[in-house]
A and B are shown apart, each in its own frame.
Chain A
Amino acid sequence: MACSAWLFGGYNPHRSALNIDHANENLYHFPVVCNQCENTYCAKVCPADAIYRDQETGAIVVDQEKCVGCKKEFCHEYCPIKVIHVDPFTRKAYKCDLCGGSPRCVESCPTGALELVVRVNTDQEEDR
């Protein structure tokens, strides 16, 4: 809910950038967040080149000015875990931008279950 509040100024998990999937009568829960992929399918399929990596935070972000709200929704379609979304009202794409480096989901989690970790690749390249 903190995510939708950050992105849109109100609460609704369907409008947030991360998903929590539940299965088998709530026996299992799967939090699904953007991997900020190295091989960015969403950016590659974007016809407007609106998706890029923010050098400061390492997050893959959508340039709202550039996004043309194309009807094809390729970014969503080809995201392997469906964490780039299309806003039902503006039709533009949105996704986790790590809130500019200080994720609201981590900040607001009442049980401290979330944290931001930096992935270090074996070739010593640092990524997030």
Chain B
Amino acid sequence: MNDGYMGKFLCVDLEAKTSLKLKVPDWLKQDYVGGKGFGAKLLSDLAPPGVDPLGPDNLLMFLTGPLCSTPAPAMRTCVVCKSPATHTFLDSYVGGRFGAEIKFAGYDGIIIRGTASDPVYLWIEDDRIEFRSAAKIWGSDALKANELIKQDLGHQEATVATIGQAGENGVLFSLICCEYNRQAGRGGAGAVMGSKKLKGIAIKGSQLVKVNRPDLFQQAVKKANRDIESAGDCSALTESGTSYAVPWSSSIGLLPYKNHSEQHDPKVNKIDDAAQDKHLFLGKSACFGCPIRCSQMGAVRTGKFASFVTDIIEYETVAMLGSNLAISNIRDIAYLNKLCDTLGMDSISAGAVIAFAFEAAEKELIQSPEKANLEFGSTKAAEHLLKSIALQEDELGKLLGQGVKKAAEQIGHDAPDFALHVKGLEIPGWGVKGSPGMGLAYATADRGACHQRGFPIGYEYGGALYKGEVVEPHSIEKKAEILIGDQNYLAGLDTLIKCDFGAFGVTAQSYIELLNAVTGLERPQSFIDELGERIWNLVRLFNLREGLDTGSDTLPAKLTGKALENGPLKGQRMKSEDLDLMLKEYYMIRNWDREGRPITKHLKQLGLNKERRFSIEKQLIAPENDEVKD
């Protein structure tokens, strides 16, 4: 049936070096659609409760949705596993080209289990799956590994995802580098891949992705493209990528500075979009099938680290490796970003960890290493820490490679107060003082501190109206309601799998028209919100099953502490009483009990009480005839 799906999952066992093809059953497509929906259901059903995130039984999944690999604009791919940093659900979304190839090879997703005895990489070419030795590639950085894998295969046109040394060495904020400069897996998906001794995945496919109603689909694509064309935020992204948000964030007072001690950077004009345009940008690049082309490719041409190719320095990276460390040389930030990309680490968490280390050194809780003095503003110290963390070459690197939560617990004293994380995932590059909605968003995001599960700043400062009304930025009123609406809607769109930047333009109506045309089903616009709510609750159930402490729906002491002393939001703070009030309201609207557990009656309403389980045995396709076993 032509419905945008390929109809199969590829299930790989690295220990046995075998692969299976599993049918994607109709009920899974209908109830979970793809991406986050598939991930939540498959991880809940296939991972044993209490699974060790770095053990062989954890699953590492690369999942698509029905609109991926089609001309529907701005679609991405989803990586799901249990996180070694938070011990809860990890879902991460990545652009580039890697994900598109999964469907071209004939699969709706790749499910990886087991641990290889020796380093391997996977070569997937349609039905042909090879487990190839990565003995000579292990130890190389993520970009070098990409090159070596292509050389080894003799296929320059393969698309490759790799891990760097950080993933090999179990750094809890290591990522998977998807060709090119597209990183997946905040929360340590790189370490999960490394624990499986899987250095990379190369893929190429010749299958066709077919849609149910081609004419309607083409119309829907044109409409969605028009949505993007007429959206101011999308045009700004085409012009200068997310770097355009740097001066805005500092001007409204939300750009973190010195481990969130302040929320504006006095030297912001050295690291903003204009500075990047002057010193870095050369041309644009687009992810697969995306008309926005937010990527601004360029090169560092002068200075100490010249020369190397660099992608745009994204807002989050500028915030976390720049202003939050009080580093104001854009070339230095580009270099630190490149180190994160090649060593295979999340630049958000890495920046947060370095800022934490600088503050800990300032407070004399840790000692600077011989080679670099740990202090705000020091590129040299940041460089030293990134390398020692990724390579795990000294005690400090080993301490910090676990992320701020665990490092602070080991350091003791008041270190946990300024270890900025929620549930073990570091706080990204938006301040919360003066933005109570964002505070609640971090506290309740399903994967720990995340700015992408809901972004109330858009209402508080970005001019977005809520039900036609202006939202008061500093008030806590309606913030829980607004956030829940966003979380549900975005979780629904994460099944498709939308890029956040596309969603700045494409309307809910256009998304549903795309989905209906591709699948041939007739769904109302409300389907996205309802689906999102079901998935949000399913993920909550998974997290509770895996031991989530509901008391962890909170913020670290430093963020609920004293008011800002400088900047546009001088005097603003995030009171813990306010957070408690918003959280109480949040649980109530979510139909969760006072401890944040979904109530049975609501689960029934969502259809989550007696669910069908996805089982590998039941969905197995016999290799000879591609028929389902039973």
Residues of A bordering B, CB below 8 Å: 1-2, 4-5, 8-12, 14-15, 22, 24-29, 88-89, 108, 110-111
Contacts and interface: CB of A to CB of B under 8 A. Distances in A.
Contacts of A5: 214
A111 B238 CA distance: 11
A25 B104 contact: no
Given A8-B208, A110-B73, A14 B309 contact: no
A110 B291 contact: yes
Contacts of B297: 25-27
B70 A1 contact: yes
B204 to A, nearest CB: 7
Ranked 6 nearest A-B pairs via Cβ:
A10-B208, A110-B291, A10-B210, A26-B285, A11-B209, A110-B225
A25 B208 contact: no
Contacts of B210: 9-11
A12 B299 contact: no
B244 interface: no
Nearest to B206: A88
Contacts of A10: 207-210
Contact of B204 (A11, A14, A28): A14
A88 B583 CA distance: 57
B382 to A, nearest CB: 23
A25 B69 contact: no
Given A25-B180, A111-B291, A11 B285 contact: no
A14 B206 contact: yes
Contacts of B309: 24-25, 27
Contacts of A24: 309
A26 B208 contact: no
B225 A12 contact: no
A5 B215 CA distance: 11
Contacts of A9: 208, 210, 214
B106 to A, nearest CB: 10
B283 A1 contact: no
A108 B157 CA distance: 24
Given A11-B71, A12-B208, A108-B218, 8 more contacts: A2-B71, A15-B208, A25-B309, A26-B181, A26-B285, A27-B297, A27-B299, A110-B291
A12 B229 CA distance: 25
A61 to B, nearest CB: 22
Interface string B462-504: 0000000000000000000000000000000000000000000
Contacts of B291: 110-111
Contacts of A14: 104, 157, 204-206
B104 A27 contact: no
A66 B328 CA distance: 66
Nearest to A27: B297
A29 B295 CA distance: 13
Nearest to B2: A10
